[in-house]
Amino acid sequence: MTIFIIRRILQAAVVTLITLSVVFVVGRVVGDPVRIVIGIEAEETRVQEVRDQLGLNDPLTVQYWRFMTGALRGEMGTSFWTRTPTMPMVLERLPATIYLGVVTALLAFPLAILLGATAALKPHSWADRLINVTALGGVSIVEFWLALMLILVVAVQIGWFKTSGYGGAEYVILPALTLAYKPIGRISQMARSAIIDELRKPYIKAARAKGLSEQQVVFTHALKNAAIPIITTTGDEVATILNGAMVVETVFGWPGVGLLTINALSRRDLPLVEATVFVVTGMIIMTNMLLDVAYTYLNPRIRFQ
């Protein structure tokens, strides 16, 4: 088991390096950042001066090396926009996004599994179909539209929660609800089909023959074995949440990494973009690794290899 964890950490490191390289490549492909900084009409000599200053005229390999070593030290350059180092900017916004993400996850995951299990217990009942339609609705909605609708209905008309800004419950609830909707949809669907698939297996019949109530059969036996595909889906949903966070943060003005990324992209602020991509991928890699470890622990067949 420990060997497995070490292997996963190494894998994560390799993926991080590859990601950084990709970011580097994309950064160079995007176009000449210099003109953005000093203006389109600037003279060619001035452009070359700035390029020298920024080290953009050095051979690519040198740039690459400088980039990678800098990144590993935590230095990802200076923002074109604010002229301050990028990493601190990103890291400063990180807690807000994590806060939002955690609230969303706490809302979404337990609810999704509960819904999925309920639907699986009585397939094709009206409860199941309601849950199914809600789940389908979840994956059919665009987050930003949902956000706008929520804002319209709840905040503007009724005036309950806050529609923008950072803070406690009343600030975070709308963004979290918006973000949670899609994962709830997907995870509950996956939970339902995973549990139904498990319920088809022979050991379920044997469990019933042992005198276990239907509740016990579903929640103890089926759920534990169904947890494996459910966790896999949950892992995929982390990427969805981060995806959605970019849009949701924009609509609600939530000062997190997502909003920063969008701003950086609109301003073509390359170093900042590189920094945000690095942090976002870092988060995903870490979450996936943790989930992988959890998955391995739950699946005895893999654990004892």
Partner 1 sequence: MQREEIVAMPESNNTPSDQQITGNGGHLLEVSDLHVEFRTSGGVVKAVNGVNYILDEGETLAILGESGSGKSVGVEAVMGIVESPPGFVTAGSVKFRGTELRGMEEDQLCKIRGHNIAMIFQEAQATLDPGFTVGHQISEMLRLHRGLSKEEATKKSVELMDRVQIPFAVERANDYPHQFSGGMCQRVMIAMALALDPDVLIADEPTTALDVTIQAQVMQLLSELQTETGMGIILITHDMSVIADVADRVVVMYAGRVVETGSIHQIFDQPAHPYTVGLMNCVPRLDRKEDNLNIIPGSPPNPINLPAGCAFHPRCSLARERCLSETPVSAEVGPYHQSACHFFEEVLVGH
Partner 2 sequence: MNNTGSQDFGESVEGRPSKISWLRYLRGLFSDTTTAFAIIFLVLIFISTVAAEVVAPYDPIKTNLRMRNMPPLTPAVEDGSFPHVLGTDPLGRDILSRLIYGARVSLLVGLSSALVSGTLGTILGLLAGYYRGIVDDLIMRLVDFQMGFPFLLLALLVLLALGPGFWSVIFVLAIVRWMVYARQARGMTLAYRETPFIDAARVLGCSDARIIFRHLLPNMASPLLILGTLEVAGLILGEAALSFLGFGLQPPSASWGLMISGGRQYLSSAWWLATIPGFAIFFTALSLNMLASSLRSITDPLHRERWLMKGSD
| The two structure tokens encoding residue 244 | 């959605």
Q: What does 203 interact with, of partner 2, partner 1, none (CB < 5 to 8 A by kind)?
A: partner 1
Q: Which is nearer to partner 1, 4 or 64 (CB)?
A: 4
Number of residues that bind partner 1 (CB under 8 A): 22
Beta bridge partners of 271: none
- 248 is a contact residue toward partner 2 (CB under 8 A): no
- 165 is a contact residue toward partner 2 (CB under 8 A): no
Smallest gap from Cβ 222 to partner 1, in A, equals 9
Q: Decide: helix, strand or coil at residue 78.
A: strand
Choices 42-50, 88-96, 216-224, 287-295; region in contact with partner 1 by CB under 8 A = 216-224
- 267 is a contact residue toward partner 1 (CB under 8 A): no
| The two structure tokens encoding residue 185 | 């949809």
Q: Which of 36, 262, 293, 294 binds partner 2 (CB under 8 A)?
A: 262
- Vertex 159 angle, CA 153 and 163, to 5°: 75
Q: Which of 86, 188, 234, 281 binds partner 2 (CB under 8 A)?
A: 281
Q: What does 224 interact with, of partner 2, partner 1, none (CB < 5 to 8 A by kind)?
A: partner 1
Within the chain, strands assigned E span none
Sign, CA dihedral 257-262-265-269, equals: negative
CA distance 34 to 300: 55
Do residues 188 and 113 touch, judged by C-beta distance below 8 A?
A: yes
CA-wise closest residue to 191 among 156, 172, 164, 218? 218
The CA distances from residue 234 to 96, 137, 265, in Å, are 21, 18, 28
CA-wise closest residue to 241 among 102, 34, 51, 76? 102
Q: Which is nearer to partner 1, 167 or 202 (CB)?
A: 202
- 60 is a contact residue toward partner 2 (CB under 8 A): no
- 246 is a contact residue toward partner 2 (CB under 8 A): yes
Q: Which is nearer to partner 2, 109 or 278 (CB)?
A: 278
Q: Which of 221, 237, 246, 277 binds partner 1 (CB under 8 A)?
A: 221
Smallest gap from Cβ 20 to partner 1, in A, equals 39
The CA distances from residue 185 to 246, 277, 300, in Å, are 19, 27, 29
Choices 132-140, 155-163, 205-213, 242-250; region in contact with partner 1 by CB under 8 A = 205-213
What values do phi and psi take at 181, rounded to 5? -60, -50
Binding site for partner 2 (CB under 8 A): 15, 18, 26, 29-31, 123-124, 132-133, 136-137, 139-145, 148-149, 151-152, 156, 200, 235-236, 239-240, 242-243, 246-247, 250-251, 261-262, 265-266, 268, 273, 277, 280-281, 284-285, 288
